[in-house]
Amino acid sequence: MAASPNLGHASLVMERSLASGRGGRERGQAAVESALVLPLTLFLVLGSLQLFLMFQARVMAEYAAFRATRAGSVNHGDCEAMNHAALAALLPTLRPTTNPDELANAFGAVRDNRFGDGYTTSVTGIENEEVVWIFRERPLAGDIPNVEDRAFDARFSEPMQLQVRLVYWYPMRIPFADWVIYRAAAASMGVARYAAQNPLLLTEKADWRQESSDTLTDEVLSRVRSNVSSRTYLFPIQASHTMRMMTPAKQQYFEGSQNCF
């Protein structure tokens, strides 16, 4: 007995419907999987770029600490000379400096130790923020004679040393990666716990926290806390250097403040 044409057509329609349903479910599953994996994939790409730039800034901060200490050593501990030397060393991490004009413009934008007008970055609202903090840990103002110390470099005297700790407030400029890295770092410093949705795994809640930081001072932690509140992603990169004073330290450069910011 021959099969009914209508029955064959119905069977074909049903097979197509089932195939369409399976295809729809597979597409829906792929869309869900993509939504879960995309943030992590995006962070791996952008985060790698941001971390590379931060490693470069770390190296330049070490060099800036040396240059600032050297400038203070040969200029009686003058803060202005130290700041300018540090800022000049950090220019490659701030703006392009491939020719003399760009170099001059880049230094002019930060010469007062502020992110001045014309500074191009994805970080907004930082025009009046300080670029570097320079802590002069030695000598202390009380260790410096009121009169010129002609014997400061005598052969048998204890040499005076200039000890410098520099904090470079590096502007993170890679979108999404800047927020994730800064919030995670702030939590690890004990500044601001993060317990909201995990940006790297949307199906989970994050719990980024740590009790305290032993490597950062209260001033630095306070500014990081303020940066988190204002979404200003300026990351503190620390470096230090010590050098023998080549010129005697002068009271006039230490009376107002022990630090250069």
Identify the pLDDT of residue 99.
84
Identify the pLDDT of residue 128.
80
Phi and psi of 182, rounded to 5°? -65, -45
Whole-number Å distance between alpha carbons of 149 and 255: 17
Identify the pLDDT of residue 122.
47
User: Alpha carbon 230 to chain centroid distance?
Assistant: 15
The answer to whether 64 touches 86, Cβ cutoff 8 Å, is yes
Identify the pLDDT of residue 241.
97
Identify the pLDDT of residue 198.
77
pLDDT in tens, the chain (261 residues): 455 555 555 555 555 554 555 555 666 666 666 666 777 788 889 999 999 999 999 999 999 999 999 999 999 999 999 999 999 999 999 887 888 888 888 898 899 999 876 565 445 667 788 999 999 999 988 888 776 666 666 666 678 899 999 999 999 989 889 999 999 999 888 888 888 777 777 678 888 877 666 778 889 999 999 999 888 899 999 999 999 999 888 888 988 889 998
Identify the pLDDT of residue 51.
93
Identify the pLDDT of residue 1.
47
Integer Rg of the chain from CA: 29
Whole-number Å distance between alpha carbons of 260 and 202: 44
Please calculate the CA angle 249-255-260 and round it to the nearest 5 degrees: 80
Phi and psi of 44, rounded to 5°? -60, -40
Identify the pLDDT of residue 124.
61
Identify the pLDDT of residue 54.
95
